Amino acid sequence: MLVLSRRKGESVMLGDNIEIQILHASGGQVRLGIRAPKELAVLRGELFSSVRQGNHEAAQMALDAAEVTELGKLLKKKGQD
Amino acid sequence: MQTQTTQGKPGSIVVKTLRFGDVEVPSAERITLLRALAGFPDTKTLVMLTLADQAPFHWLQSVEQPPVAFAVLPVELVRPGYTLKLPPWDRGLWDRQSSPEILALISFQRDATMNLAAPLLLDPRHRVALQVMNQAGYGLKEPLFGEAAARPQVAATA
């Protein structure tokens, strides 16, 4: 990982069209300003991680075909209630 | 990387899968992901498999990765009135006139849950799909059974 020190108001460029600026830093918290092309996803790291984790859980073998059949029956039953 | 397909009959491919064995699917039914699903950068193409007696569930099987398959459910069946609010980067990628089919990924840990915060949009006609970050305030793990929370769970905002 590249590590840089920056002061308030200074920025870092990623390539030529992504800029991350330090707006404010105090009490263990840093406020960032991010300028990036609008098609680029900018997400808090933990949100991206939770989506990735959710996808991995969805792809796990824990859910097998027989269970899906049972879930389908339950859903249909619920629909008729 | 090596693609896990071989030629089947003309106009079809054979997809190797861990769950379902080798499955022959018409080539035209392949679904191209506009962006890889988070955590699955090697899967670019999916096929939808519907097993007998499993309606309304479908499987989205990775063409490139035999062990990877997602059980999905059309959101409208379980959450009528489900709304989408896409962030700018998703709106930029999902630049389509027709309204998409919206599919929720199902996971089964202790309970069956569905991911309504990051659903998969599918354009069935052009065979493209995109997992989006819905910013309308739904949860990553909403119960498949039981009432929808009166108030949406913690919003998955950027």
Name the closest residue on chain A to residue B92, using Cα atoms: A39
Taking one residue from A and the other from B, the number of pairs with CB-CB distance under 8 angstroms is 109
In a domain, B158, yes or no: no
User: Rounded to whole angstroms, how far apart are CA atoms B130 and B78?
Assistant: 20
Contact A68 B71 (CB under 8 A): yes
In a domain, B25, yes or no: yes
Contacts for B92 with CB less than 8 Å, ≥ 6 apart: A38, A39
User: Rounded to whole angstroms, how far apart are CA atoms A46 and A44?
Assistant: 6
Q: Which residues of chain A neighbour B73 with C-beta distances below 8 Å?
A: 75
Cα distance between the two ends of chain B: 32
Write down the domain spans for chain A: 1-39, 43-81
Report pLDDT digits (tens) over A1-59. Answer: 999 999 999 999 999 999 999 999 999 999 999 999 888 888 899 999 999 999 998 88
In a domain, B107, yes or no: yes
Cα distance between the two ends of chain A: 56
In a domain, B81, yes or no: yes
Q: Which residues of chain A neighbour B71 with C-beta distances below 8 Å?
A: 58, 63, 68
Domain interval for residue B120: 5-150
In a domain, B157, yes or no: no
Q: Which residues of chain A neighbour B117 with C-beta distances below 8 Å?
A: 51
Query: What's the complex ipTM?
Result: 0.80
Confidence of residue A62 (pLDDT cuts 50, 70, 90): low
Name the closest residue on chain B to residue A45, using Cα atoms: B158
Q: Which residues of chain A neighbour B115 with C-beta distances below 8 Å?
A: 51, 54-55, 58
Looking at the DSSP assignment, which residues form a beta bridge with residue A45? none
Contact A51 B144 (CB under 8 A): no
Task: Give whole-number Cα distances, A30 to A20, A35, B53, in Å.
Answer: 12, 16, 53
Q: Which two tokens stand for residue A2?
A: 């590249």
Q: Per-residue confidence of chain B (158 residues) as pLDDT tens digits? A: 455 566 677 899 999 998 889 999 999 999 999 999 999 999 999 999 988 778 888 999 999 999 999 989 999 998 999 999 999 889 888 988 788 999 999 987 777 899 999 999 999 999 999 999 999 999 999 998 765 443 344 444 44
Question: The pTM is what?
Answer: 0.81
The string of DSSP codes covering A42-67 is ---HHHHHHHHHHHHHHHSTTS-HHH
Residue B5: φ, ψ to 5°: -130, 150
In a domain, B16, yes or no: yes
CATH number of residue B91's parent domain: 2.30.290.10
Sheet with strand B5-7: strands edge to edge = B5-7, B12-17, B21-26
Residue B69: φ, ψ to 5°: -145, 140
pLDDT at position B146 is: 65
The total number of structural domains that make up chain B: 1
Phi-psi region of A63 (alpha: psi -120 to 50; beta: other; left: phi over 0): beta
Which of A38, A49, A64, A71 to substitute to test the interface with B, most B CBs within 10 Å? A71
Confidence of residue A66 (pLDDT cuts 50, 70, 90): confident
Give alpha helix (H) positions in chain B.
75-78, 88-93
Looking at the DSSP assignment, which residues form a beta bridge with residue B131? B120
